[in-house]
Amino acid sequence: MPVAVVLGMQWGDEGKGKIIDLLSQEADIVARYQGGHNAGHTICFDDKEFVLHLIPSGIFHEGKLCVIGNGVVIDPSALAEEMEDLNQAGIDLKNRLVLSDRANIILPYHSVSDRSREKEGKFQKIGTTGRGIGPSYSDKIARIGIRACDFLDENRLREQFHVNYQEKKKILKHLYDLELPDFDSMFRDLLSFRKMILEYIGDTQSLLQKAIAENKKILCEGAQGTMLDVDHGTYPFVTSSSSTAGGACTGLGIPPTKIDRVVGVIKAYTTRVGEGPFPTELHDGDGQMLRDEGHEFGATTGRPRRCGWFDAVVARHAIGINGIDALVLTKIDVLDKFEIIKVCTGYKHKGNVYEKMPADLDCLQNCEPVYTEYEGWMANTVGVTVYDELPEKARQYIESLGKLLGTQFLMISTGPQRNYTIHNGTLF
């Protein structure tokens, strides 16, 4: 089974970074397929913590090739900073990192436009990360984006950038009364990043297809989560890419027939950052306790994450859309001090009970979650590595989730550290 997708099942921050870092040990290649530096994937080992935004979570394992696919939008300055941080940490990226020549580039006017739109007050606020993700994907779909391959020829890059710059300058002035810095200084900055990343650009589609033909093991890394997917999430409160499993095909050029397995990472409760409906959100002491115990603050923006109970409607939606055949349950330890733990099994709205994810935001915003209650285990699970050593009530909770979702757990995570994990099988 040489190609596996590992992705988030909720609104992001499920602990994908930790899990993909661990599973990378089994892979030859780790490939990110969508999103940009809106992602923040945390990896903890040897008492150190790293947060990756663009570079795949396999980078800490020597010999693993890390690919940034065509479906990712790359901010050259963010990438340069991340590469520099990794160099400082002693990670040699030469021959370890390849950027797709087809990946679209985030340019400074994209983040200006993203932040201005959010600030303006005239438009629907999404609570974006302000990284220029939406505007850059908009340019991609409008077919005016600049791609990594355009960096190869400096003169052509100047021409393309100039055309876009002129257009964005007018739009930003007109919409937000904003002046962009002058063209020459922006282009000079771009050229300095060009120098740094040029040697990493390659034909990742051919590379991955060759790897598949050679039976190499490829782990496709999702960013964000199913509920933030532009098609299948809580639109318009989503990100601008396909974070679901299909995104791995379009975002890497891997044919659907070559994907053997899809693993979903899900927290033992739910969080989301930014605006948008969140049926099981808690505004009480329990919500605060989840935030405190789970250190629920954004890895990218530092914003406090909204917290709530586990939502089986979300989980079932994610299993269906992605074809998930195994789950990874994370942050079970965060529930150690709860006397009662709730799980939402449906949404009650205007006399109906919904067990499938409704598209209509009115239902999601105004529904009443139907809860099943579990007794908490009120005991320490941090660092447990053997399933049978979990408290009985914790095992009952996990087994109930498994039954409710009809899917097995491949791993259970009991803390941020690599080794704080219960393993129940292998990825490949």
Mark residues 38-57: x for contact with Mg ion by CB under 5 A, - for none: --x-----------------
Q: How far apart are alpha carbons 273 and 135 in whole angstroms?
A: 19
The β-bridge partners of 68 are 32, 99
- Near ligand GDP by CB under 6 A: residue from 10, 16, 69, 70: 16
H helix runs in 152-245, sequence order: 154-176, 183-197, 204-213
> Residues near 15 by Cβ (< 8 Å), separated by ≥ 6?
42, 265, 267, 328, 330, 331, 413
Residues 156-195 that bind ligand GDP (CB under 6 A): none
Residue 38 binding partner per list ligand IMO, ligand GDP, Mg ion, none, with a CB distance cut-off of 5 to 8 Å that depends on partner kind: ligand IMO
Q: Which does 224 bind (CB under 5 to 8 A by kind): ligand IMO, Mg ion, ligand GDP, none?
A: ligand IMO
18 touches ligand GDP (CB under 6 A): yes
Of the candidates 341, 295, 334, 310, which has an alpha carbon nearest to the alpha carbon of residue 413?
Answer: 334
Q: Does 70 bind ligand IMO (CB under 6 A)?
A: no
> In the range 164-223, which residues lie near ligand IMO by CB under 6 A?
223
Out of ligand IMO, Mg ion, ligand GDP, none, which partner does residue 330 contact, by CB within 5 to 8 A per kind? ligand GDP
Instruction: Tell whether residue 279 is a contact of ligand GDP (CB under 6 A).
Output: no
Q: Which of residues 2-21 bind ligand IMO (CB under 6 A)?
A: 8, 11-13
Site for ligand GDP in 320-379 (CB under 6 A): 330-331, 333-334
Give the dihedral sign, CA 295/300/303/307: negative
Site string for Mg ion, 12-31 (x = CB under 5 A): -x------------------
Secondary structure of residue 304 in the 3-state scheme? strand
Burial status of residue 85 (CB atoms within 10 A of its CB: 0-12, 13-18, 19 or more):
middle
| Burial of residue 4 (number of CB atoms within 10 Å: 0-12, 13-18, 19+) | buried
Q: Does 222 bind ligand GDP (CB under 6 A)?
A: no
Q: What is the DSSP letter of 55?
A: S
Q: How far out from the chain centre does Cα 421 lie?
A: 21
Contact positions with ligand IMO (CB under 6 A) in 101-130: 126-129
Sketch the per residue contact string, 287 through 306, with Mg ion: x for CB under 5 A, - otherwise.
------------x-------
Give which of 394, 397, 399, 342 is closest to 371, Cα–Cα: 342
Catalytic residues: 13, 41
76 makes contact with ligand GDP (CB under 6 A): no
Residue 35 binds to ligand GDP (criterion: CB under 6 A):
no
Kindly state whether residue 13 participates in binding ligand GDP, applying the rule CB under 6 A: yes
Q: What does 73-103 look like in DSSP terms, one character per residue?
A: EE-HHHHHHHHHHHHHTT---TTTEEEETT-
- Sheet with 65-68: list strands edge to edge: 201-202, 97-100, 65-68, 29-32, 218-221, 3-8, 261-267, 326-330, 409-413, 421-423
Residue 427, CB-side half-sphere exposure with 13 Å CA sphere:
26
Residue 224 Cβ vs ligand IMO, minimum distance, rounded to whole Å: 4
Binding to ligand IMO by residue 78, rule CB under 6 A? no
Q: Which of 34, 38, 42, 242 binds ligand GDP (CB under 6 A)?
A: 42
134 touching ligand IMO, by CB under 6 A: yes
Residues 6+ apart with CB under 8 A from 192: none
DSSP for 387-404, written as a single string = GGGS-HHHHHHHHHHHHH
How far is 377 from 374, CA to CA, in rounded Å? 9
Residue 126's binding partner out of ligand IMO, Mg ion, ligand GDP, none, with CB under 5 to 8 Å set by partner kind: ligand IMO
Binding site for ligand GDP (CB under 6 A): 8, 12-18, 40-42, 44, 295, 299, 330-331, 333-334, 413-416
Binding site for ligand IMO (CB under 6 A): 8, 11-13, 38-41, 126-129, 131, 133-134, 223-225, 228, 239-240, 273-274, 299
Binding site for Mg ion (CB under 5 A): 13, 40, 299
